Each structure stands twice: as structure tokens, then as C-alpha cells.
Structure 1
Amino acid sequence: MKNILIKIVVLFFVFITAFLIFSGFNTTKYHIKQLENASLPIVWIEEEYGVYNYLHGYTQNIESITEPYILTKNNKLSLSIKENGNTVSKISYKLYNEDNVLLIEEQIGKDSITKTDNEVKVNMEINRRLIQDYTYRLVIAVTTKNRETIYYYGSLINNNIHNMGRALDIIHSIHNSTFEKEEDHLKETLFKNRQEKNEEVLDLGNVNLDSSMTSILWSDLNVHKMNEPKPILMGMDRRMLYFEMNYVVLILNDNMNYYYVKEEYKVELGENGHYNIVDFTRTLRKRLDNNLIDIQNNQINLGYLKSQMSINMKNSPNGRYIVLSDKTQLWLYDRTDNKVIEVFNFDRLNNEFILDTYDRHEIKPINVDNSGNITYGVKGYMNSGVYEGQNGVLINYYNNENYYNETVSFVSIEDSYDVLINNIIFFDYLNENNECFFVYNNKVYAIDIENNKYTVVYEDLPMDKDRVFISRNNSFIAWQQDSFEDTNDEIFIIDLKTKEKHSLKSNNGEKVKILGLIRNNLVVGYANESNISQGPNGKTVFPMERVDILDEKKEVLKTYIPKPDSYVKGYEFSNNRINFFIGKIVNNNNNIYLEQTEIDFITHIVTNGLVPSNYSIESMLEENRIKYVINVNIPQNKPLSYMIANQKISR
């Protein structure tokens, strides 16, 4: 009887354990999964003359978004909404003037909405008189049954001059002609009133009106479009319209490589009511995947690019790992194990190449260690994942042992892509406390990698970037608070190693000025207050009696003092040398200036500069086409392996 009871108890616990396992119960605080596909609805303008303008959804209220531009002639707009698995329940709009004053807020009636499979058609009318050629801010709010309200932004203009149908016609005709090899049509449009160019070398990654017809027609590449692009109206004036189109191609005779393509058009309205092409560009970015590795030629093949500056490269200190990134993707190559890892890319190659490939974000590798672990930042629009539909700064940590990304921190920023991209500075620096840093909106943010949190280290950095100096190794920031040379008597330094703020004050009767950086050291000049004056051109005359080279702790490493009655008038930096232009003060009828008398210099050899890159991106010719490669020793005795990093998600 006792044995029977024991068996019953054991079987009961086995049953409970099995039930918990198979029912998905897990005591861990996270799980590992692939990055999710983009899933927000997408909106476009669908008029009788054509379709244009993808509007991507935001889950934030952002006042500074102005693109794309939307034209109306009769206060009416026709929209199409692809639901992407969502169910639209309500649509409304708001209209603001240029001072961001709300003019009208209105819900669109059900009789103006037609639903089909996964798509919603909307006929909306702005119930307000619109001033001709005035730019309004339009916000379309889409509420769905399974998520919060999603916002779509654009600039609405009532315009009776431009004919959008004709503008779209010429753009589509040129775009299609490049694929269909219609050379005669391109001569009548792109090369109208222009001399057709001849090229011995074809730069297919950067095609424009100075390129040959062969380049514009994709040379002899077998190019297959993966999606049909819609023109996006990015800007306009009285006679000009500015469009861009983004799409993905598969080049079959380039080792089956995918490329992201951006075309930009500038069209001008002619006197006859038709549009002429003023400018055209087409640039390529290769999708980073296992086709990059050319074992036979010991190369990483980057394919056709706009330029070698399109790719950022970083090496681990031991040289084993190479990190490559471009605008929207991050990739790791392990030279020892001959392994390729796609670390980060919103593009999953499994949709219509619209949502996932939206390129309003940029990736910045911050640090890679000797084990291949990477700290990196993504700034801009989040296409998918936990923060889908938000603008901000995402800091991720890639764990190379387990092949997953972990979100360290996300800072939501309610600013447009252009404002955000142009004002965020990432530091290629990780201090001993495993903290990285970025600057935005005159704040210095510290990201704690270990504890997954961020803090604001400093909040009053000058907005003028010309007054902010960052050491070459990114270990400190220096700035002056005042933009006027004759009032500055203090310099501020934040040492990112310790997050301490230091202040350097000039002596009584002196003013101080940051001249620049020589490697990782700060160069400052001092002038006697009594010698500072306004020159004949209104520019401040700042005769420097002394120049110091400092480290981040304000310690003076070297000093330069000109001869008696001479002053440093100007300066230029050249590697480990500073050239000084020496002058004397001249007072010509109260017009005070420095007259140059000689040139002098000092040298400053530093040992804490950047470690030179082990590899470089080089151009090469394949037949007569420019391609970009990295020459690197690739293991010949190990097969190439390829992995896609997963995402670590908290439960």
C-alpha cells in the first residue's frame, strides 16, 4: 500500500512538471525570439491621377514632422490604409497652422469609409477654407481595436499650380524606362537639352545626370524589383517638386544580392504645363548577408555603394572580429571561425519591403570587445519591436556567446527624424563602469549597460556645436558657455571616465578660448582683456599671449609662449603639430588688427590616440564596374556559417 502511494505521488509530480513545461510556464524572466515584423497600418494618398506618399505610423505626438507634403485643390483627400492585421475602428484628423495653433479637429464619418480585405478607403474633406499655398500641419489619427491610436503626419498645401498627375507620370515613366531599357524615352526626358555622357568606368552605386546611359540602364545587370515604389513628395516650391522613391532589388548576376535603392527626382513645371527633369540620382546599399564573404579572393564584398563612406567599420582590439554597419543594418564577421552574424536589421525579407525597410533611422556601433560582444545605438524611427512607431534612441547590447540582442535602454524623443539625426551625437567610448554616452538637446546621457538604465549627466550643454569639442577617443567633452570671445573666462570639461565636471578659469584680467583638439588633448589660448578689441570688420581681435595643451583633468602638458610684444594671431592643426601665425598689434586710426610677422609651431606626440584600423574599404573594378571590398585573410579550411541574432525579450 505504501509503495502504491509513493508511485501515485511521483506520478502526480511528473504530471504537474510536464503540464507546466508544455503549457509554456517558465520561471525565467525573459525569452529569446526573432525580432518581430513591422505591424502598424500604413497610409498613402490615392487620387484619381495617381498614388503617392507612404505615411508611416507613430505612437507619439510629434510636432516637428513636416514631410511628406500633401497637395489638395478642393479641400478633398483620398486615403488608402493597409491594416496589416489590425482592425481600424475610427479615423479622425487635426489641422494646425504654421504657429501650431489647432484650427480644426474632426472625426471622419462612416459613410466616407469603405472597407475591403485588409484595406480601408477614406474620402475626407477639410471643412475649412484653406489659404492658397499656405502650409498646414495635418495629423491623421487611426484608432484600431487591438492597439492605441496611431498618428500619421504630413504638410498639407492647397495648391492650384502644380499638376500632381503629370509630375507622377514623368517620374514613373523614367523609373520604368531604366528597367525596360527604353533608351529613346530617357533621351527625351532625362537627357533633354543635355549632353549624353560616356563613361569608361561605371559607378552603379551612385548614378546621376552626369552618368552614362549605360549606368542609368543598370548596365548588363539582371535586376529584379521586389516591390513597386510609390513616389514620396519631400518638398516643393512654386515651380519645383522634390520626390524620392525607395525600393528593393535582387541582382541575379551579382551572386543573388539584395540592394536597397533610393531614387531622388527634382522636376520643374514648364510654361506648357508639363514637367521637366532638373535632377535625378539613384544610390544603392547592399543588404549585408552571407554573400558578403568571398572566400576565394579573401575579400568582404560590399558590392555597389554610393561611396566607401556609406559603410562604418570597427574592429575588436584583438583583430578577430570586424563590425560593419551602414544606415540601417549591423553585421559581425568572426575571422577565426569564418562566421557571419546579422546582428541587427529591421528588414526581415518577408513582407512587401515597405514597413521593415523604412530607413528613417541610423545605426552606430559604440564598442566591440575581444569576444565579439557589441554595444550599439539606433537613433530615429523604430520600425518594429517593443518600441515600434516611436522616435528615439535605442541602446542595444549584442551577446555573441548566445547570439542575441538585449535592449539596454530606450529614450523616447518626440522630435522629427531630421531634427533627431542632426542633433544626436554618439560617443565611441565605453568607460570602466561599462557606461556609454550620447548627447541630445544640450543634455549628456549616460547609459548603464550592466543595470539597463540611463541618467542625464549634464543638462546645459550649448546648442551651438561649434562651441562643443569631443576628444578623438571620445573620453571627454569640452565647451564654452558664451559664444563671444571677449566675455569667456571659463571652460567646462566632462570627463566621461568618471562623469565628473571640471571647470578651467582664466586668471584675472584674462579671457580664454578653446582652439581645438590635438588627438585627445585640449588646446586653449589666453589673451589679456586689455588687448581684446573689435577689428575693422567687426570680428573680435583676440591676441593670444599663451597657448596650453591640456588633458581631461586640466593638467597642462605643454605651453607655447610667443616672443615679447608678439601674439598668436591664428592657428592650424596638422596631425601632431600646431602651426601658429604670429603677429603684432597695429592701431591704425583706432582700427585695431593683428599684422602677421612670422609662422611658428610646436609638436605634441601623444601615446593615447586611436588604434589604427586593421582593415580599410577599397574600391576595385569588376569588368568596368566599381565595387567596394575589404581585403582580409579568410580561413580556407573552415566552411562559412551564417546566423541571424535573436532578441532577448523580458516577460
Structure 2
Amino acid sequence: MKKTIIKGCVFAATFIVVLIVSSLFLNRGNTDMTAEMKLPELPLVYVNVGEQHVNMMRGFLNAMDEQYMKESVMPIESDRRLSFSVKKYGQSVESLAFEVRSVDGSRLVENTEITNYRTLGDTLTADIVLKDLIEEKTEYGLTFLVNLEDGRCVRYYMRIIQADGYGVEEKLEFVRNFNEATFSDGWPGEFGKNLEPKSDADNTTLSRVTINNTASQIGWAGLEVEQITEPVFTIREISEETASITVEYLVNYIRQGRETYASVEEVYRVRQGTDRMYLLDYERQMSEIFAEDNSAFVGDKIVLGITDPHVEMMESDGGKILAFAQAGVLYSVNVTDNRLSKLFSFYDSEGRDERTFYSGHDFKILQVDEAGNVFFMVYGYISRGRREGYTGAEIYLYNNSLNTVEELAFIPSAKSPEIFEAELERLAYINGKNELYLLMNNQINCVHLDRQTVDVIAENMSGDTYQVSDSNRMIVWQNEGKKYASSSLTLMNLNSGEQMKIEAGSGNYIMPLGFMGEDVIYGVARQSDVILDDTGTMIFPMFQVRIQDENGKVLKTYEKDGFYTTDCSINGNQINLSRVEKDGEGNYAAAPNDQIVSGAAEVVKSNKVITIPVDDFETITEIQMKSAPDSKKLKRLTPKEVLYEGSREIQLPQAEQPMESYYVYGPDGEVTILSTAGEAISLAYEISGTVTGESGAYVWRKDKINTKNQIMAIEASPVTEDKNSLAVCLDTILAYEGIMRNSEYMLTQGKTVQEVLQENLENVQVLDLSGCTLDSVLYYPDREIPVLAMLGDGNAVLIIGFNEKNVVLMNPETDKVYKMGMNDAADWFTENGCHFISYVKK
């Protein structure tokens, strides 16, 4: 018995020794298998306009989809000459070349090697002349190919347009002078006439100022600000008269006795007049770079400084662990361990490498647990590290106990960073089983991070057939993928992976309307009530609206006899319902709005973002914490990256039937993706943006149209016994394009107006412009394209021209081409639902 006890003790002691030694080896191995992120390697390319460098381009190591690469544009004169430079950053360049392609990338126009470049220090400069193969005032894709000595081919993308008289230097000079003047003692000086101050503008913050702020506010409101980097100018859009130009740079100033830094982006829209340059719009956004020292922690507050109060932030269940993003850097504050960890940053330690300042990426915090671990995503253009030169999403895990970050997966994309970001922001959620859900390529994808595989959960997810909760944990979609003709919904809990089917009921259709917290809101309409009205607008009158929890329990039902809900908006615990009712003739007419108040408890976070006024700095942003860390003893950590073998690259499957999307580009280059042309153009009109389709060609752009134009080839044509006004208008459009068809016959066969045009016009994209203003649709007759306007009584007219005061109409009912006053026409079309249809050449 005694020997057995001795043996057991020896065994236990041996086991403990082995465990300790193994632990030491494992820990040593873990340390050896980590490293700091690699510094940037790829060169930069920019265009030379006089002495100024513009349109700085980042390099891509894979061939991108040309139709989506729309970050910058450069007009070239009739001599087709362009000067550009390559800043090598110590890289050895073996050869240079350039390609010119059609805007959709399908047609190679030119492929030329560049041999006559000059070298000055670390910069190569070349003047190139494009071949006489491009059409005037037509955009093309220009790609510079920089072949490095190590065998890598780096691509740099830009658009060009051959057009004289675009005034590039003059527009850039105006922007540069305006920017410099805001820092001068003489501000605003001559620029005062360009400002448009309004009484309702917010003059209490420097985080965002616009053309409507006071001159003092635009001139930094007395704050002693110094511009410390050369501004980067990018021409986003340009035409003969107007241009959208962004300017990015860093500034510094003194706050609480320390030097403080901030990144700044300015957006200008300018118009070149006959006598001077006009400022159409201006916006400046400022984002302070987080201090990381004791000055950033004041009591239970984390001081973020002058920055947008919409902070990307997530906390653990108990609120003691907090992750937040600030000015391109991701942090974690662990109150329990008294730690501040800088989880991810592209900035170099010296803060001097301009390649790391690029704002073409963002963060999505996916999960924060009580142990201090953080799942997060870096997405967009990757400017540093193992994925430098690619667009995609890097999914990381920060391990609090080991103080490391490890890339779990990389999801690449050949679309532009702007479009990829807009797609990814629709849905990104990770659950406890290491399953990452993304809504990409119009599909719900489940990425299994542990085994590096992907399952497609649902397909045909157009932007108006699904809804996602704010937390991204719940998603609901129409099973048939048809907004106005679905008989059931699928409600999915992405945390558990469980799905629930919600039936409309016999003779009904169903539509998801949104979420209140995690409870889904949906409406039910009788199939017999769903109609296409005389203007061609779909009416989906829901006789019942329900709120249902994730377990299937209906929490509230809204139903009132004689009233139908057509839409809703959600504000806190209140749902605002837009309603219609039937008039005496059985038609739907507008009815007073109504509200539903939900009894669901509002989710209260332990940590919240607040804004407070501060002398000299106006309004600053802070995070008010549940409990404060000890700033005097706060440990500041910078995790190292875990090294691994293999690629961990995961390709998401492409949709079998790609769906048409419309891309709205703001003046700052930000992209919004919408599923209908009317919605896209309405947004672009509001923000002074542009719209492209899947081909990359313009569908619409906010640009000054001519003072007058009329399609003279279209003449009056009357209705007949065999053709109503709609058929006459359709036949007129087809004949204008050289096609003879009987539209009346096709309409009686059940074809829609869009189908008649799309199936008979060659190489065009038919556009439903419902909801657009008259002013915005005049873009098409200005380009010799008629616009079909559907009227409330079932008739139709063609908009074929305009001048400063009138619209020119072709009306088959009167058999006349005539003018109508612009304001009268706008009111008339508004009364008839603003239902327009037109098209663009692909």
C-alpha cells in the first residue's frame, strides 16, 4: 500500500514537471510564432497637373473588375497626353506599362509599354500619349502596370475622358486656394462670396462643417490648427462646368498641453462660370486621432475629442470590456484587467508613411466577450501587412490572455473597395460556433471559420426583399424573392442558426417591414387588393401589421377596418404607419398616418457615447463608461500578430443569376447600393451624386444640363381606335430607335411597359424612374432620350424637350407637341405619381 502511494506521488510529481516544461515550450513557441505587422511595400502612383500631384492611386496585386473601379477621373486634352509619377518607396521597378479599356472592362483599346521614364531620387516620372483610338467625351478605364523586380505586377486604376475645356487646373487651383485660405489670418477674404450661411446650421462642432456654416466655423472657429501633411487631391467627378474634388490631410493642435492630431477630409463641388469659379457645395469632416495616454481618461470618461459621435463600438455582456474604433484605429478597454489594447492600426509607428493614412478601410466589431477576447473585421482596401494590395475582409480574433491578434480568414473581392464596403455593411454577424454570416453577392453566406468552408443559406436577396435587425442577429426575407408577391417569410436567428417560416395565409401576400430590437415587423395584404394603379405604381395595401418575436409569438397585431398600411418607419419604440383607404369608386386614397407603440424594453448599454461643450474646442465626443479604469496604472498593450501556414483565404460563391443593382456615388466617393433606378437617382439628386449600373456606365449624374434641348425627330402622333396613348408613346419610342412594333398587341398580351421596351430595344437598359422629380428626369431628353410619363387616368405622354421655363411634351390625346410651364408640369406629374420610364445605352 505504501509503495503504491509512493508511486502515485512520483507519478503526480512527474506529471506536474512535464506539464510545466510543456507549458514553457508552448508559451515560447507562441512567442516565436508572432510578429509585428509588415510595413507597407507597394509604390504609389499619381497624376501630375502642372506642379501639383493629384489622384493618388494605391496598388492592387490582383486584376480588379474594371467596371467598378471609379475612385478618380482625369480629363485629357486633344493631344491625349498625360504625365504621371511612381513613388517607389525603395522598391526596384523592372518595367512600366499602361492599358486602356472600355468602361466595363470588356474591350482592350490599348496596351503599351512605357520606356521613356525619368528617375529622380525615389520617383519615376513619365509622359505618355494615348493612341488615337478613344472617342471624345467618353470615359475609359486607364490602368498603370508597375512590374516590380520581385515578380509582382501592381495595378493602379483611374478613369480618363478625352475632352478639351474642362478647366482641370483652374478648378484644382480654386480648391487649393480655398483650402489654404481657411488656415490664414485673412479668412474668408474673397471666398466669403462663396459661402451660404444658414441660421439652422450647427455651429457648435468642428467635427463636421459645411457651406452653410458661418465663415468663422469654416475657418476653424479660432482653434490654432496647423496642416502638417501635404493635402491629397482626388478628382471624383468632372464635366465641362462642374467637378467634385476631395482633399485629405492631417492637422495638429494643442489640447490639455499636449500635441493632438486629427485626420481631415474636405469635399468640394465647384462650377466654372464665365467670370469666376463658384462653390456649389462644401463639407469638411474632422476625426481626432485617439491620444492613448492619461489625458484620454477623465474619471469615467474616455475622451475621443473632435470627431463624429457615431462611433463603432461594442461591449461585453457585463459592460466591463469595451471595443471601439477611432480615426482608423481599433481599441479595447478592459476595466477588469486595467488594460488599453491597440488591436489594429495601419499607421506606421513614426507616423510619416502616407500609404498608411489611407481611409479606404473600416472596422466592424463582431463580438466582445467577458474574457476580453474580441472578434473583429477589417474591410476595404488593405494598405499594409500580408494582404497589402487586396480588397477584402480580414476576420481577426484578439486573444486577451495571450495579447495576440490572429487572422481567422480573408475574404477577397475584385470589386472596388467602396462597393465592397457598401455590400459588407448590410450584414456581418458571428456566433458562438465561429460561424460568420455575410450578405454578399445577393446571397446569405455562412462562413465556417473553423473549417474554412461556405454554405449559401438563401439566394436572390435583392435590397427590398429582406430586413436585418440593428444587432445583425436576426434577419427575415421573402422566400419567393418577390417584394409584392410572396406567400411566406423566413425568420432566422443567426446566433442559433434556427429558421422559422411565417405564412401569409391563404389568398394573402406578406412583406417584411423591419425590426424593433429583435422582434420582426411584417405586413399582410390580400392578393386581390394588390394592384398596379393607372400610373404603373404598385399598391401593396396591408390590412394587418404584426410584431412577432423570434420564438413565433405575435406580440401585437394592428388592423383597422377600411384602412390599409402601405409603409412604415421605426423610431425607438414607435412605429409610424403610412396608410390609404378606399374612396367611393374603390380607388385608394391617402389617409391620416397612425402609430403603434411597442411595449418591448429598450436595450440599455452600460457604456454610451456622449457629446459635451468645451471652451476653445466647441463640442467634443466622449464615451461614458459603466466603471472607470485606473488611468494612472493603466497598462497599454500592442498585440503582435500570430503567424500561421497556409492562406486562410475563402472565396464566396457567386450568384447563379446576378441581380441588377444601381450604385450611387456621393461627391466624396462613398457608395450606396440600391435595387431600383428611381430610388438611386432620387438619392443621387439629393446628394449631388452620380449613378452607375452593373456595366459601370453612367445611368444618371448631377450635372448642369443645357438651357434648352428638344428631340426634333419625334413628332405628334394621335391615338386611334386600335391604339391608346400609352401604346402610341411606346410605338413612338421604338420608331425613334428605328424599330417598328405593335405595342398595343404586346400590352394586351400582358407585357409590362418595361418589358415592351427592354425586349425590343437593342443594347439598352430600361429604367423605372418612379418617384424621381421632373428636374432630375430632364437629364434624359438633354441626351436625346425621350421619357415616358404615365398618368393617373391610364394615359401617357412623352417628355421630349425643355427650355429654362418650359417642358416640351408629345401628347397623343391632343395630337400635339406643345410646351407646358416648368412649375405647372412639375405639379401635374406629382399629382399623377411621378411615374417615369426611360432608358440608357449600355
Secondary structure of the residue aligned to 1:241 is: strand
Secondary structure of the residue aligned to 1:167 is: helix
Contact 1:289/1:342 (<8 A) preserved: no
Q: CA deviation at 1:87?
A: 0.9
- 1:142 corresponds to which of 140, 146, 155: 146
Secondary structure of the residue aligned to 2:356 is: coil
The equivalences for 1:226-305 within 5 A come to 226-253=228-255, 255-272=258-275, 274-291=276-293, 293-305=295-307
Q: CA deviation at 1:141?
A: 0.9
Secondary structure of the residue aligned to 1:271 is: coil
- 2:624 equivalent to 1:619: no
Q: CA deviation at 1:620?
A: 2.1
* In 1: Cα distance, 2:593 partner to 2:53 partner: 66
* In 2: Cα distance, 1:397 partner to 1:31 partner: 16
* Deviations 1:227-260, CA, capped at 9 Å, x for gaps: 2123111111220122111112222345212211
- 1:171 corresponds to which of 166, 172, 175: 175
Partner of 1:106: 111
- 2:435 equivalent to 1:435: yes
Q: Which runs of 5+ in 1 are unaligned?
A: 1-25
Provide the identity percentage: 20
- 2:640 corresponds to which of 635, 638, 646: 646
Secondary structure of the residue aligned to 1:52 is: strand
* In 1: Cα distance, 2:617 partner to 2:203 partner: 5
* In 2: Cα distance, 1:151 partner to 1:31 partner: 32
Q: Considering Cα pairs closer than 8 Å and 6+ residues apart, tell me whether 1 or 2 has the greater RCO.
A: 1
Q: CA deviation at 1:382?
A: 0.5
Note closer, same or farther for the CA distance 1:57–1:385 as it changes in structure 2 (3 Å cut). same
Note closer, same or farther for the CA distance 1:69–1:544 as it changes in structure 2 (3 Å cut). closer
- 2:101 corresponds to which of 96, 104, 120: 96
Secondary structure of the residue aligned to 2:175 is: helix
Contact 1:57/1:151 (<8 A) preserved: yes
- 1:82 corresponds to which of 87, 107, 112: 87
* In 2: Cα distance, 1:515 partner to 1:228 partner: 47
Partner of 2:454: 455
Contact 2:332/2:341 (<8 A) preserved: yes
* In 2: Cα distance, 1:504 partner to 1:598 partner: 26
Q: CA deviation at 1:618?
A: 1.9
Q: CA deviation at 1:173?
A: 2.3
Secondary structure of the residue aligned to 1:355 is: helix
* In 1: Cα distance, 2:556 partner to 2:147 partner: 65
Q: CA deviation at 1:493?
A: 3.1
Contact 1:525/1:548 (<8 A) preserved: yes
- 2:126 equivalent to 1:122: yes
Partner of 1:524: 522
* In 2: Cα distance, 1:582 partner to 1:276 partner: 44
* In 1: Cα distance, 2:483 partner to 2:297 partner: 57
The equivalences for 1:435-584 within 5 A come to 435-449=435-449, 451=450, 453-464=452-463, 466-481=464-479, 487-535=485-533, 538-542=536-540, 544=542, 546-552=544-550, 555-558=552-555, 560=557, 562=559, 566=562, 568-569=564-565, 572=568, 573=570, 575-576=572-573
Partner of 2:669: none
AA of the residue aligned to 2:123? E
- 2:69 equivalent to 1:65: yes
* Deviations 1:181-226, CA, capped at 9 Å, x for gaps: 333xx32135457679999965222233333444333344443433
* In 2: Cα distance, 1:98 partner to 1:408 partner: 36
* In 1: Cα distance, 2:293 partner to 2:631 partner: 18
* Deviations 1:406-447, CA, capped at 9 Å, x for gaps: 111111011112211222136564423132322112122334
Partner of 1:332: 332
Report the aligned-residue RMSD: 3.3
TM-score normalized by the length of structure 1: 0.85
Contact 2:469/2:514 (<8 A) preserved: no
* In 2: Cα distance, 1:495 partner to 1:90 partner: 53
Contact 2:85/2:125 (<8 A) preserved: yes
Partner of 1:3: none
Q: CA deviation at 1:562?
A: 4.2
AA of the residue aligned to 2:477? W
The equivalences for 1:296-375 within 5 A come to 296-305=298-307, 307-309=308-310, 311-326=311-326, 328-350=328-350, 352-375=352-375
* In 2: Cα distance, 1:507 partner to 1:330 partner: 48
Note closer, same or farther for the CA distance 1:30–1:649 as it changes in structure 2 (3 Å cut). farther
* In 1: Cα distance, 2:147 partner to 2:431 partner: 44
Deviates more, 1:50-59 or 1:407-416: 50-59
Secondary structure of the residue aligned to 1:409 is: strand
Q: CA deviation at 1:394?
A: 1.4
* In 1: Cα distance, 2:577 partner to 2:351 partner: 59
Note closer, same or farther for the CA distance 1:368–1:161 as it changes in structure 2 (3 Å cut). same
Contact 1:67/1:235 (<8 A) preserved: no
Note closer, same or farther for the CA distance 1:128–1:323 as it changes in structure 2 (3 Å cut). same
* In 2: Cα distance, 1:581 partner to 1:43 partner: 52
Note closer, same or farther for the CA distance 1:570–1:98 as it changes in structure 2 (3 Å cut). closer
Q: CA deviation at 1:42?
A: 0.3
Contact 1:546/1:559 (<8 A) preserved: no
Note closer, same or farther for the CA distance 1:557–1:216 as it changes in structure 2 (3 Å cut). closer
Secondary structure of the residue aligned to 1:530 is: helix
* In 1: Cα distance, 2:195 partner to 2:297 partner: 47
Contact 2:100/2:111 (<8 A) preserved: no
Secondary structure of the residue aligned to 2:643 is: strand
Note closer, same or farther for the CA distance 1:483–1:163 as it changes in structure 2 (3 Å cut). same
* In 2: Cα distance, 1:604 partner to 1:551 partner: 12
Partner of 1:225: 227
- 2:35 equivalent to 1:33: yes
- 1:162 corresponds to which of 149, 158, 166: 166
Contact 1:75/1:130 (<8 A) preserved: no
Instruction: Report which of the two has the higher share of strand.
Output: 1
Q: CA deviation at 1:597?
A: 9.6
AA of the residue aligned to 2:61? T
Secondary structure of the residue aligned to 2:95 is: strand
* In 1: Cα distance, 2:71 partner to 2:41 partner: 21
Partner of 1:423: 423
AA of the residue aligned to 1:37? L
Contact 2:380/2:392 (<8 A) preserved: yes
Secondary structure of the residue aligned to 1:616 is: strand
Partner of 2:588: 593
Contact 1:327/1:363 (<8 A) preserved: no
Q: Which runs of 5+ in 2 are unaligned?
A: 1-27, 646-842
Contact 1:587/1:593 (<8 A) preserved: no
Deviates more, 1:260-269 or 1:293-302: 293-302
TM-score normalized by the length of structure 2: 0.66
Partner of 2:44: 42
Deviates more, 1:191-200 or 1:382-391: 191-200
* In 1: Cα distance, 2:32 partner to 2:431 partner: 27
- 1:630 corresponds to which of 623, 631, 634: 623
Instruction: Report which of the two has the higher share of helix.
Output: 2
AA of the residue aligned to 2:619? I
Contact 1:428/1:473 (<8 A) preserved: no
Q: CA deviation at 1:376?
A: 0.9
* In 1: Cα distance, 2:172 partner to 2:578 partner: 57
Q: CA deviation at 1:627?
A: 1.6
* In 2: Cα distance, 1:384 partner to 1:348 partner: 9
Contact 2:607/2:623 (<8 A) preserved: no
AA of the residue aligned to 1:92? A
* In 2: Cα distance, 1:598 partner to 1:236 partner: 43
